[in-house]
Amino acid sequence: MRNFTPETLTEAVVARLSDCDNPRLKAVMTGLVRHLHAFVREVNLTEAEWFEGIQFLTATGQKCDADRQEFILLSDVLGVSMMVDALNHGTPSGATESTVLGPFYIPGAPELASDADIAHGSPGEPTAISGRVLDATGKPIAGAVLDVWQTATNGLYSIQDPEQDRYNLRGRFRTGGDGRYAFRTVKPVSYPVPTDGPVGRILDAMGRHPHRPAHIHFIVSAPGYETLTTHLFANGDPYLDSDVVFAVKNSLVVDFAPTGDGTGLAAAYDFRLAPSA
């Protein structure tokens, strides 16, 4: 077939998938081609705009390295990450709600003793975080691992900041037989996502601010349970209702309250894990 028109081209591209022997890939690529073509038709994309899009995606890839993930950031600010999260973790199960992984996780944080300080003397308001890891019925889970990471008070994660050690404000904690965990840190701050790359430029061009409300990241895992990727957000933060990556859920907002003895702040949270499917 030749002489394709806007009316015939889409189905011709889809038809070329007829020999694809991976049914899921075939379904995904069929949907991608149909929606991509529909998008191009809907906005009546010009050639200059098409090329600007190509350059934008090229720059997004070129901004990535072993630690920086500009494509995850792009997915986050366009709401795609939270759409995938909602579709995959949307069924109420009694488990703690999930939210985005974000672009700043690195594996391999050291396992630390309970009550260790992940801030290692970094400036900030001393804060104690504690609670339990439970199953969906409220039974404590022993041996659950909490992989924790957050920014310093300058708004930067360790891998963004040459002044911080690689695993500063990161650590892994293991629950005891009572399901309890505890660690010390500094109060997280709201921060802008990186604005020195293509994602920052497109946010600015769209008239959007780049800020995230203060939070601590967690990946909570235990054998026999679904791994939970989530945050705890600081109540009262001015960006809770306009998070640039759309990740805030009410059940994940906690009070960072003064301890009363002048030693800083404390926040408590019990995580609940769903059984493995």
Measured from the CB of residue 2, what is the shortest distance to Fe ion in angstroms? 51
Q: How far is the CB of 204 from Fe ion (least distance, A)?
A: 20
Q: Are 205 and 197 in contact (CB under 8 A)?
A: no
CB of 52 to Fe ion, least distance (A): 29
Closest separation in Å from C-beta 233 to Fe ion: 10
Nearer to Fe ion, 81 or 175 (CB): 81
Residues 76-115 that bind Fe ion (CB under 5 A): 102
Tell me whether residue 156 or residue 274 sits nearer to Fe ion (CB atom): 156
Specify the residue, 102 or 198, whose C-beta has the smaller distance to Fe ion.
102
Closest CB to Fe ion among residues 132, 172:
172
- In the bound state with Fe ion, the residue whose beta carbon lies nearer, of 129 and 141, is 129
Q: Are 184 and 130 in contact (CB under 8 A)?
A: no
Is the CB of 155 or the CB of 264 nearer to Fe ion?
Answer: 155
In the bound state, the residue with its beta carbon closest to Fe ion is 102
Quote the least distance from Cβ 30 to Fe ion, whole Å.
35
Ramachandran category for residue 51: left, alpha or beta (phi over 0 → left; psi -120 to 50 → alpha): alpha
Exposure of 170 by Cβ count < 10 A (0-12 exposed, 13-18 middle, 19+ buried)?
buried
Residues in contact with Fe ion, shown as a per-residue x/- string from 150 to 189 under the rule CB under 5 A = ----------------------------------------
**Which 206-235 positions form the footprint of Fe ion (CB under 5 A)?**
none
| Minimum distance, C-beta of residue 99 to Fe ion, in the bound complex (Å) | 10
Minimum distance, C-beta of residue 112 to Fe ion, in the bound complex (Å): 20
Binding-site residue total for Fe ion (CB under 5 A)? 1
Comparing C-alpha atoms, which of 237, 231, 243, 241 is closest to residue 269? Answer: 231
Nearer to Fe ion, 102 or 124 (CB): 102
- Residue 253 pairs in a beta bridge with 233
If one counts every other C-beta atom within 10 angstroms of the C-beta of residue 231, the result is: 27
Binding stretches for Fe ion (CB under 5 A): 102
